[in-house]
Structure 1
C-alpha cells in the first residue's frame, strides 16, 4: 500500500513525502524528524542550522546567473496532527503512516495522512536536492510544533534568515493564492473536580458519541459539522434534569485545532429511570441525525453497560459544568464583511476531559479582526468564570493582514496565468498560518501562501489530490525562475 506513492509524479516530491510518512512526527514529538532534516541538509553539503526551538534552516546558493535575484524562504512545518479512528490500531509516536491511492487521491489507512504539511516540506526538500532547477538564493525554513502551539514560529529569531520573500507552502487549494489569515487564542479552562460516592440503586453506562467527521477547526468550521462535545452535553443536560443522570467522567475530543469527532462519558442513572433514559437517548440520536443529516451521515449515539464507578461529580459542580458547556459559543460566530464567503470569527469547543482532580476544557478561537477575537475570548471567559472555573487565555498569535500590492503576488499571478491560462484566485484563510508570526519577526518579508489540494486535514479522512501535486510543483519551479531582481 504505502509504496504506491513512489510511482506517482513528480517523483521529486513523492519520494520525499514517502520518507516523511515513515518517520513518526506528531506535534511535541519531533526529535526524529528534526534529526532526519538535519542529516538531509548536511548530506547535501548545504549550510544547515537547528535553532533552540527545533526549527531547521537549510540554505542553498543561487544557480549560476541567478545570484542577483531576491532571496526566497520556502517554509513549512514538520509536525502533523495525530488523529485516528477509534477502531484503528496506530501509535503515532512509533508507527509509520500507512498510505494508499484511492482513485484521484492519496489518503491513509484510518489515520491522518500528514499531507498537512508534509506536501510543503517535501516540495522544499525537492528544491534543495535539485541539480537542474533555476533559482536565486533559497532557504528552507522547517518550523516545529505548528499544530499545537506554533512554537517554532514564536521562537524564530531575527537575523538568521537572509531572504526577502516568504513562500509559505501550507495552503490546501491548488489554483488559489492566500494573502491573509486569522489570528487565534487558546482558552484553557479548569474546574476543580469534586466527587461524591455513587448513589445506591443506580446503573452505570458509557455514552458514546461517534461517527462524526471532525476536521480542521479553521478550514472546516464553515461546513457546520457536528461538535461531539456540544452534542453529548446537550443530551446530558436533558438527562440530568429529567432522569437524575450523574456524570462520573467525561472524555471528549482530542486536539484544540480539530473539530471533536468522538466524545464519551461514564454516567449512572437511577434504576427506575433506566428504560426512559435509554428511550430518550434514542430520540436524541434521531434528532441529531435529522439536524445534521447533510453533514454527518455516519453519526451514532449509543450507551453500553459498564462497571459502576466508585464516585460521581457532586451535583452542583455537574450542573455548573453542563450549563457552561451548553452555553459556550461554538462554530462560526461571524462571517467577514471584507471578503464574502470567509469566516471572520469562530470558536472550536475542542476538548472536555475529567480525572479525579480536575475537569479540563480547551477551546481555540480564531478571528481575522483582533477586536472581535478579544471580544469572543472575554465572552467565553465570562461563561466559565460564572460557572466557577479558572480561565487562562494564552498562546495568542496575530493574523496576517492582506497586502494586495504585494510584488510576489503579482509575479505569481502572472506565472500562473502564463502557464495555465487563468488568474489564480486570491484569498484569505480562516486558519492559523504561521505567516503572521513570521512576518512580525521579519517585517520586510513579502509573503504568500499556496499548496496542492488537500481535503479534511486534522481528521482520518485527510487526503491530497494527486494531480494537483504536479501542478503545485510546476508552479513552484516556474515561480523560482521568475523571482524579481533584488533592488
Structure 2
C-alpha cells in the first residue's frame, strides 16, 4: 500500500508527499493540486495568494526576533510527467500514484512517481507547517505546468514575490549545489501529405514494436548514452524500405518532449515473398541493438507481428524524406562545458515522431547553457528537416540560468553542508532546465540556488527517490533557514 511511505522520516515531508501522490496532477491538469495547496495554506492561517496563471504563493511570518532577516522563497513545481509502461492500465487524470518502499528507495508501480517535483513541494509544505523552526520570513512558491513549457514561471509578474533568496528544490543529486542550468527550445516539425491508397497486390502488413528501453529525463539522463527509440526504429525502417520493398503506413514513437523515447511502433507493408526475410532482419537488429547498448540498456525488445492491411500508405517521396531526415537528425549530447567538466553544454532529444490524419509530427527539444550554441543546434536541425520538405516552427524557448559563483547564499550553504555532514558539497551547473532562469528574468536581484535529494530516472517509470537523502536534505534546508 502506498500509505506506508507516510511512516518514513521526516514524517511531515512524507505525509505531504503521499497526499500529492493521491492527487492526479499531470501537466495541464492543475486545478485539483493547486486547490489542495491553497487550502493547506489557508488552513494554517497563512497569507495565501494565487496569480493569474495559477501559481500558488504562501507566506509565513518570521520567527519572533528574526523580522529583519532576508526573506527566502522556497520554490517547486506541482505538475508531474505522466509516463507508464505499456503493460499497465493507469489513467493519470483519475488514478493516484501507487508508491511503495523498496529498500532505501521510494518507487511507483509501473508509472512515474512524481517525486519530480512533488518532494520539493513537500519540503516547502513541511517548512510552512512547522512552528518549531527558526527563520526569517518565508514564502513558498508552487508553480504550475513546469514540465511542458514552464508556463507558471513564465507567468510570474515582477511584484508577486518578495524574496531576497530563491531556494529551488527541483534538482536531483543530494550533496550538490546547482548554480546554473541550460535553456531550451522546441522544434515543432510537420510533414503534410495526401495519403497513398494504392497498395500492391500480395503485400502484407507488419507491426513493428520497439520496447523495453530505459528512456529518462532528456536533460538529466542525456549523457548516459541511452537508446532513443525513434532513432533505432527508423534505422531499421530505412533498410527495410531500401532492401526489402517495405512501405511505411504509420509511426508512433515517443510521447513527451522532455523524455527520451522508450518505445516506438510502426505499421509497414512488405511484399509477401519478403516476410520471412523480414523476420530474420528484425531478429538481427534486436541482437545488434542489444550489443551496441550492452551495459546501458538491458531490456531492448524488438519484434514484428502480422497486422491488418492498412487502407493507406505515406507517399513514397514523403516517406523517404522523413526517413532521411530522422537518420540525419542530431540526437543526444552535442557539446560539453569546459568550465564544469563532465557537464553537458548542448543536446537534442528527438522526442516524438507520429502520424495521424495526413500529417507527420516530429518534436525535438534542444537544450544548451549557451544561447548562441542553442540557436546553432536549432538552425542545424531546421536545415535537415527543411531540406526534407518539412515545415519547421520554434516554440517554448526559455533562457538558461547564468551561474554566480560569488553568490552569498552559495557561500553560506557550502559552509552549512560542511558543518552538518563533514564534507564539502559540489557546485554544479545542470543540463536540465530549471525555472530559476525564467524567474531570474523577472527578479534579477534575487540570489538563487537549487538543491534536492537523490532522485533517479525522472520522467520514466523507473523514477525513484532515496529515503536517507530526503532526510539529509530536510536537515540541510532547516539549518540553512536558521542561518540566513
TM class by smaller structure: over 0.9
Query: Does residue 67 of structure 1 match 2:67?
Result: yes
Asked if 1:466 is matched to 2:467, the reply is: yes
Query: How far is the alpha carbon of 1:357 from its aligned partner?
Result: 2.3
Which structure 2 residues correspond to residues 38-437 of structure 1 after superposition, within 5 A?
A: 38-197=38-197, 198-437=199-438
* Partner Cα separation in structure 2 for residue 68 and residue 472 of structure 1: 26
Task: Indicate conservation of the 8 Å contact 1:217/1:348, yes or no.
Answer: yes
Task: After TM superposition, list the pairs within 5 Å mapping 1:10-49 onto structure 2.
Answer: 10-49=10-49
Unaligned runs of 5+ in 1: none
- Between 416-425 and 449-458, report the one with greater CA deviation: 416-425
Quick check: 1:193–1:356 contact (8 Å CA) kept in 2? no
> How far apart are 1:422 and its partner, in Å?
1.3
TM-score, structure 2 as length reference: 0.99
Q: In the aligned structure 2, how far is the partner of 1:98 from the partner of 1:173?
A: 24
Counterpart-to-counterpart distance in 2, 1:396 and 1:3? 39
Judge conservation of contact 1:455–1:464 (CA < 8 Å) in 2: yes
Report the alpha carbon displacement of residue 469 of structure 1 after superposing the two structures with TM: 0.5
**What is the distance in 2 between the residues matched to 1:51 and 1:429?**
28
TM-superposed CA distance for 1:71, in Å, is 0.4
Which digits, 9 at most, give the CA deviation of each residue in 1:37-62, with x for residues without a partner? 11111111111111111111111110
SS at match of 1:121: helix
**Partner secondary structure for residue 406 of structure 2:** coil
Gaps of 5+ in 2: none
CA separation in 2, counterparts of 1:40 and 1:306? 52
The count of residues paired between Structure 1 and Structure 2 equals 483
- The root-mean-square deviation of aligned C-alpha atoms, in Å, is 0.7
Residue 194 (structure 1) shift: 2.6
Give the distance between the partners of 2:57 and 2:414, measured in 1 at CA: 28
Deviations 1:354-404 (A, max 9, x none): 012210000101010111100000001001111111101111101111111
Distance 1:363 1:8 in 2: 39
How many angstroms apart in 2 are the aligned matches of 1:77 and 1:409?
Answer: 22
User: What corresponds to 1:3 in structure 2?
Assistant: 3
Deviation at 1:456, TM superposition (A): 0.3
CA contact (8 A) 1:193 1:355 kept: no
TM-superposed CA distance for 1:256, in Å, is 0.3
1:193 Cα offset (Å): 3.0
TM-fit CA distance, 1:277: 1.5
CA apart distance, 1:130 = 1.0
Q: Secondary structure at the match of 2:80?
A: coil
